[in-house]
Structure 1
């Protein structure tokens, strides 16, 4: 893969991937929930509020990160994001009440991750403007891989050895040790300078965030992303109990969840590359059809073993779900110009916040009403369908 990238920007790409990998702690909160509940007596609604806060402040951090980056530059913004993430984790280790960990892990760490998450994408696509999809895919894959390795792997293992508080402190030190050196490499290429020094021609060909959200192009791609993310999270948010309901053992359900995480990461690379090779319409249509096919496979599984009936559908769902993230960012980078890229990419967070709430909640409600996940699976397929019509109607060119 790396021979395709010119040498001058490789250190930037690698540093961005490392920072994204460390930001994968965003989704590792689930490994702390049960140990905290068992050790403190906190309830599931209380610990669940932490993840809600993470999603909200992650989105706010992404939307604010562009403004901060234009003022402080990419290096300082990435370092500040890393410091906030480490501070939030460290403060969480001393929390004695739910509100304290909601504020520390959810608020401080969540905002830091969101702010830092903007930098690798915004900087790397300036180095490789012809490979926007793949670059965004690499960053998104690194985030997913970090969740799997740092959360399900390292943090879960350390909790058993040293407990929750010591693990949070260790993770904070690890973040500092990696994020601060990595941020030093995140600089714009000389030809692009810094955002406020972009040439007047580039400025006239670029849209501000307000101008962007008023375009038909952005609104339709936003609907496409929301349809896939919401439909996907209706199932992905319940993947373990859904697998158990369909006959899997707890161990098999855990395997399904792990496979889902890996394929989710691969989907980010695959669809990011497809975006570059075939264009946005082909890649985005392939993505939404992949989601619908996966949901239908899961709703009407082939006969055979339990895993044979579950894995094909889950694999397609995870592949599609992962593919929306880099494609949305790459579309914004390629369609609305570089002058306001940092701010514009931050608007992708609006989809993830809404879908993060609506998808799992809707899936849970449908399960409670019907007594099984079949209704949720079929509803998710219907939910994803508007994405087809949205992409078919996106204009081929974007107003400048």
Structure 2
């Protein structure tokens, strides 16, 4: 392995640690019990925080394309870090839900979105030949952040420090690492930048407007949005779902950690699967796995079996992680590297309403019925819709390639 090639793996490792820090966004559910206990807020109010954070995340991701035209990705990343430390630090002073929506949801979520997309865009430029692998490994840290920082947050919350200082301390840790990591964001040399995948590459470079006109863009966006949106509600409320069926706080925290573990390891696994079997088979295999696991959740939930339910939460996190790993790779391979940040940002915006609606639906079902059983009836339907989109994606890509080939031949 030559020096330049080995350097890209150093950049990837730094990126994994960076994503681990910014994965704090997935640890929200550990803050729900102390906030509800202190302020008496209902579940729909606290669960809405995660939904808004996911929208903030999507807005941040969609902003990177335009910001990167005006400044280096490294600066975009540091701006994202500044947003996160500001949002989390200000959460220390909240006394009303709207303050939490603004600081954790909008400010922190937006900063995480900036950091996430700036790093994935930068790293994918180094791994054109292994896009799925690199994307999956990189965002593994993002998925596992809920476990690592969730455990830290829980320890701080239930210590003499309390939840207010827990927000602030984590925010300062995130920004401190950002200052260390930012020098590793570099442009690859020309020979590395030209590397291509072994299969699936369309050879196109479409901007956001052109990509959004393609049916394949929307079949893929719906493919990920149906399943990821429905599982987002489980991620948002995993801790309280567990305590609701008899788990202790300690075991519920461990279950959230298991979900994050699955989310984390699912990302490189999804990337490897994508590289090995190709885009089309991956888009069919993953929703089948999601459908199988989601069909098992309701009986485990109704039987009040915390151990079995925690195991299924881990599986759901695994599937969610595999889905998450595919976005950047799909956009790069199908629509090119040149406009990658913009195209991934648009796909994130498409996902945002699903991240808002599904957790809200789950919270409303809980308030009306007293549990989440009805919600677990909806999740398999979402997996089935995702499978349908995965099946029709390949014909949509073929039509797109034929269209652009005809245009090139005409020229």
Please state how far the C-alpha of 1:228 moved relative to its aligned partner.
Answer: 1.2
Shift of 1:308: 6.1
Shift of 1:230: 2.9
Distance 1:378 1:218, change over 3 A: same
2:392 alignment partner in structure 1: 393
Q: Is the 8 Å Cα contact of residues 13 and 120 (structure 1) preserved in structure 2?
A: no
Residue aligned with 2:285, SS: helix
Q: Which residue of 2 aligns with 1:208?
A: 207
- 4+ long deviations beyond 6 Å: none
Q: Which residue of 2 aligns with 1:345?
A: 344
Secondary structure of the residue aligned to 1:70 is coil
**Aligned match of 1:65:** 64
Structure 1 residues 28-47: aligned runs within 5 Å: 28-39=27-38, 47=46
Query: Which residues of 2 match residues 285-364 of structure 1 at below 5 A?
Result: 285-300=284-299, 306=305, 309-364=308-363
Once residues 251 and 172 of structure 2 are traced to their aligned partners in structure 1, the CA distance between those partners, rounded to angstroms, is 34
Deviation at 1:68, TM superposition (A): 0.8
Q: Give the direction of change, closer, same or farther, for the CA distance of 1:278–1:45 in structure 2 (3 Å limit).
A: closer
Distance 1:16 1:252, change over 3 A: closer
Contact 1:225–1:351 at 8 Å: present in 2 too?
no
Structure 2 unmatched ranges of 5 or more: 194-200, 405-411
Q: How many residues align?
A: 389
**Structure 2: distance between partners of 1:140 and 1:192:** 25
Matches within 5 A, 1:214-233: 214-233=213-232
Q: Provide the residue aligned with 1:120 in structure 2.
A: 119
| Alignment partner of 1:259 is 2:258 | yes
Q: Helix, strand or coil: the match of 1:161?
A: coil
Q: Would the alpha carbon gap of residues 49 and 243 (structure 1) be closer, same or farther in structure 2, given more than 3 Å must change?
A: closer
Deviation (angstroms), 1:28:
3.1
Q: Give the drift of 1:38.
A: 4.7
CA contact (8 A) 1:293 1:316 kept: no
Farther off after superposition, 120-129 or 293-302: 293-302
Task: Compute the displacement of 1:148 (Å).
Answer: 1.5
Mean Cα deviation higher: 354-363 or 237-246: 237-246
Map of 1:198 onto structure 2: none
> Matched residue of 2:185: which SS?
coil
Q: Does 1:280 align with 2:279?
A: yes
d(CA) in 1 for partners of 2:170 and 2:254?
A: 25
For residues 100 and 37 of structure 1, what CA distance do their matches in structure 2 show? 15
Q: Which moved more, 1:136-145 or 1:252-261?
A: 252-261
Cα RMSD, aligned residues only: 3.3
Unpaired runs of at least 5, structure 1: 195-201
The whole-number CA distance in structure 2 between the counterparts of 1:252 and 1:79 is 36
What CA distance in whole angstroms lies between the structure 1 residues aligned with 2:351 and 2:39?
31
CA distance in 2, matches of 1:210, 1:329: 17
Work out the CA distance in 1 between the residues paired with 2:298 and 2:144. Answer: 28
Instruction: Tell me the residue number matched to 1:180.
Output: 179
CA, structure 1 residues 335+251, in 2 after alignment: closer, same or farther (shift >3 Å)?
same
